[in-house]
Amino acid sequence: MSTKDFIEKDYYKVLGVPKDATEAEIKKAYRKLARENHPDANKGNAKAEERFKEISEANDVLGDPKKRKEYDEARALFGNGGFRPGPGAGGGSFNFDLSDLFGGGAQGSGGGSGGFGGGIGDVFGGLFNRGSSGTTRVQPRRGQDIDTEVSLSFTEAIEGATVPLRMSSQAPCKACSGTGDANGNPRVCPTCVGTGQVARGSGGGFSLTDPCPDCKGRGLIAENPCEVCKGSGRAKSSRTMQVRIPAGVSDGQRIRLRGKGAPGERGGPAGDLYVTVHVSAHPVFGRKGDNLTVTVPVTFAEAALGGEVRVPTLGGPSVTLKLPPGTPNGRTMRARGKGAVRKDGTRGDLLVTVEVSVPADVTGKARDALEAYREATAGEDPRAELFKAAKGA
Ligand SMILES: [Zn+2]
Ligand SMILES: [Zn+2]
């Protein structure tokens, strides 16, 4: 029988004994009724058979001091059959019906106020949210958000990458289906009657609650604690997920992947996964937003006379840039569409900065030519403008 039976059935009435009946009185009442309604004495009498079952069930509970205490507490909390959450689950053992708790078997029948469609979990939730600021444990819960990090190469960050992410999160223990009980059949905590909360006191119409100390707020007690999770019902689950990192992410960026976090509980949605991206530096290319940068050495002759310069691109064929005559050192030019991928799929540009390289050692013909160049330009003072400006200010 389930907790629902507790709420619905008045076993005292079934046995015809007062609520404060002694064990002996209960035994006596049961024996008398069992004799009267025994199937052997009432062959073919369906009504008597039904009554006999009822009596046995009542005696199972009231005849066992421990079960009787739990029953009394449940009824004290929920009133004497004031509402009927649904048809009883039946069955012989005195265990909580987990399908109710986890929202598995929704049962919409019964009378009452009609709002108890989802089984006993909803009944608990409905009761305990009324006038209470605390939430109950038996409602669907969204999975946790998970933070993780990933390291990408420079190229992966530009092009996007699918990377394996190993994540550990809290999930229902697989060995015991999250019940914490080795047989998958935990008992309702008699202290809190499955709510996971105990009243601390009340004031101003609000009842304050604490997590139940006996079940640590779970609402369930495992008689045979699951060895895998030590009765907590929770497990660390490690899983490797293939996660698609979009193209164009930059170092330090935090990406949110909806619904890739920890799984929800009792039908709740999964949390989100946040991935902080680390991007390693590239020996040649740099990054400025959607644009890539590269510094290209040119000779003095190329800068002064102009020329065609080959420039490498990231992951593609090189491009040729036309250097106009008289290109100053440090000028930046633009190779369109050779940059990082933007959100819309287009690409930024490659910003090419020319750097005039000065040979460390000039010999032979080149030296003769440079000496000749020096003579030819002897009359020019490249610092004339500098000194004029310095004085003028
Ligand atoms: Zn408890
Ligand atoms: Zn377990």
* pLDDT (mean) for 358-366: 93
Q: Is 176 annotated as contributing to ligand binding?
A: yes
Three-state SS letters, the chain: CCHHHHHHCCHHHHHCCCCCCCHHHHHHHHHHHHHHHCHHHCCCCHHHHHHHHHHHHHHHHHCCHHHHHHHHHHHHHHCCCCCCCCCCCCCCCCCCCHHHHCCCCCCCCCCCCCCCCCCHHHHHHHHHHCCCCCCCCCCCECCCCEEEEEEECHHHHHHCEEEEEEEEEEEECCCCCCCCECCCCCEECCCCCCCCEEEEEEECCEEEEEECCCCCCCCEECCCECCCCCCCCEEEEEEEEEEEECCCCCCCCEEEECCCCCCCECCCCCCCEEEEEEECCCCCCEEECCEEEEEEEECHHHHHHCEEEEEEECCEEEEEEEECCCCCCCCEEEECCCCCECCCCCECCEEEEEEECCCCCCCHHHHHHHHHHHHHCCCCCCCHHHHHHHHHC
Asked if residue 350 belongs to a domain, the reply is: yes
Point out the ligand nearest to the CA of residue 226: 2
Q: Is 192 annotated as contributing to ligand binding?
A: yes
Whole-number pLDDT of residue 83: 34
Mean pLDDT of the chain: 78
Distance 188 CA to ligand 1 centre (A): 8
Question: In the listed set 96, 113, 128, which residue is the last one of a domain according to the structure?
Answer: 128
Task: Find the CATH number of the domain harbouring 311.
Answer: 2.60.260.20
Distance 223 CA to ligand 2 centre (A): 12
Number of other CB atoms surrounding residue 186 within 10 Å: 29
Distance 184 CA to ligand 2 centre (A): 8
Judge whether 38 and 49 are in contact, CB under 8 Å. Answer: no
Q: Between 265 and 28, name the one with better pLDDT.
A: 28
* pLDDT (mean) for 29-51: 82
Distance 347 CA to ligand 2 centre (A): 51
Question: In the listed set 84, 103, 128, which residue is the last one of a domain according to the structure?
Answer: 128
Q: Is 189 annotated as contributing to ligand binding?
A: yes
Q: Is 173 annotated as contributing to ligand binding?
A: yes
Per-residue pLDDT for 235 more than 70? yes
Distance 234 CA to ligand 1 centre (A): 17
Distance 45 CA to ligand 2 centre (A): 46
Distance 231 CA to ligand 2 centre (A): 6
Which residues keep their CB under 5 angstroms from ion ligand 2? 173, 175-176, 226, 228-229
Q: Between 172 and 191, name the one with better pLDDT.
A: 191
Distance 28 CA to ligand 1 centre (A): 33
Asked if residue 259 belongs to a domain, the reply is: no
* pLDDT (mean) for 217-227: 83
At residue 265, what is the residue type?
A: E
Task: Find the CATH number of the domain harbouring 26.
Answer: 1.10.287.110
Per-residue pLDDT for 302 more than 90? yes
Distance 183 CA to ligand 2 centre (A): 10
Asked if residue 333 belongs to a domain, the reply is: yes
Whole-number pLDDT of residue 6: 66
**Percentage of residues of the chain with pLDDT beyond 70:** 79
Question: In the listed set 128, 158, 184, which residue is the last one of a domain according to the structure?
Answer: 128
Asked if residue 239 belongs to a domain, the reply is: no
Distance 221 CA to ligand 1 centre (A): 8
Domains: count for the chain: 2
Per-residue pLDDT for 328 more than 90? yes
* Sign (positive or negative) of CA dihedral 249, 255, 257, 261: positive
Whole-number pLDDT of residue 89: 35
Point out the ligand nearest to the CA of residue 171: 2
Whole-number pLDDT of residue 112: 33
Asked if residue 362 belongs to a domain, the reply is: yes
Residues facing residue 322 across a β-bridge: 308
**Percentage of residues of the chain with pLDDT beyond 90:** 29
Asked if residue 152 belongs to a domain, the reply is: no
Asked if residue 325 belongs to a domain, the reply is: yes
Asked if residue 98 belongs to a domain, the reply is: yes
* pLDDT (mean) for 238-248: 84
Q: Is 317 annotated as contributing to ligand binding?
A: no
pLDDT in tens, 80-128: 433 333 333 333 333 333 333 333 333 333 333 333 333 333 333 333 3
Question: Phi-psi region for residue 317, left (φ > 0), alpha (ψ -120 to 50) or beta?
Answer: beta
Q: Which domain holds residue 340?
A: 286-376
Distance 2 CA to ligand 1 centre (A): 17
Token pair in block for residue 52: 């006999």
